Amino acid sequence: MIVKIGGCQLELIQGDITTQEVDAIANAANSALAGGGGVDGAIHAGGGPQIMQELKDQYPEGCPTGSAVVTSAGDLPARYVLHAVGPVWRGGREGEPELLAAAYRSCLKLAVEHNCNSIAFPAISTGVYNYPLDQAAAVALKATLDFVKWNKKPQQIRFVLFNEGTYGAFSRMLDELVP
C-alpha cells in the first residue's frame, strides 16, 4: 500500500526490516540500549557487533523513552540504525501515546539531520511492550504524516510490518487517515 503526501511517499509492506535498502532503519530498542529480542535482536544479529559497540561507546547512559539515537548499520544494507525507545503499555494513562509519537518523531528528525531520503520503521512497542496494535498504528501513522506535512522530508517512509495482522492494522488506519 502506497500513499503520496506532498512530495513524499509513505508505504506499508509486510516483511523483514533488516533487508530494507533504505538510508535508515528504525529499531525498537529498550532504554538501556542493551539489545533484546524481536526487531532489536534481528537488527543486532544482522548488523553484527559493530552496532552494539557504537551504542556502548556513544550512549553509555542509554536513551530515554520517547527518544532515539543513531548508529551506523554495520552489515545491514541501510546506512544508519535509529534506535527508538517506545513505551511499555500500561493501560494508556501514563503518557504512552505521547511517548510513542515522540519516538517516531525523534527518528524522523534524526533521519532529516543525517540527510536520509528514505527510512523504514517497524511497529514500535507492539511486541513485548504490548502496545495495542490498532492504537499503535494510529499513533505511528499520525505522527509520521504530521511530520511529513510540516517538513516535506524524508522522501520515502516505509513501514515494514512483520506479519499479516500488523500489516492489516496499519493498512486500516492509513485508509482512515488518508482517504
pTM of the model as a whole? 0.96
Note the pLDDT of residue 7.
87
Model pLDDT, residue 111: 98
Whose CA is closest to 52, among 75, 65, 34?
Answer: 34
Q: Kindly state the greatest CA–CA separation across the chain.
A: 45
* pLDDT tens for each residue of 61-117: 999 999 999 999 999 999 999 999 999 999 999 999 999 999 999 999 999 999 999
pLDDT at position 36: 87
Query: CATH number, domain at 56?
Result: 3.40.220.10
pLDDT digits (tens, 9 = 90+) for 121-151: 999 999 999 999 999 999 999 999 999 999 9
Alpha helices per DSSP H over the chain: 38-47, 49-58, 96-113, 133-151, 164-177
Q: What is the DSSP string of 4-18?
A: EETTEEEEEEES-GG
Range of the domain at 44: 2-177
Q: In the annotation, is 40 catalytic?
A: yes
Residue 159 is predicted with a pLDDT of 98
Residue 179 has pLDDT above 80, yes or no: no
Confidence at 162, pLDDT banded by 50, 70, 90: very high
The total of structural domains in the chain comes to 1
* Active-site annotation holder among 23, 40, 57, 175: 40
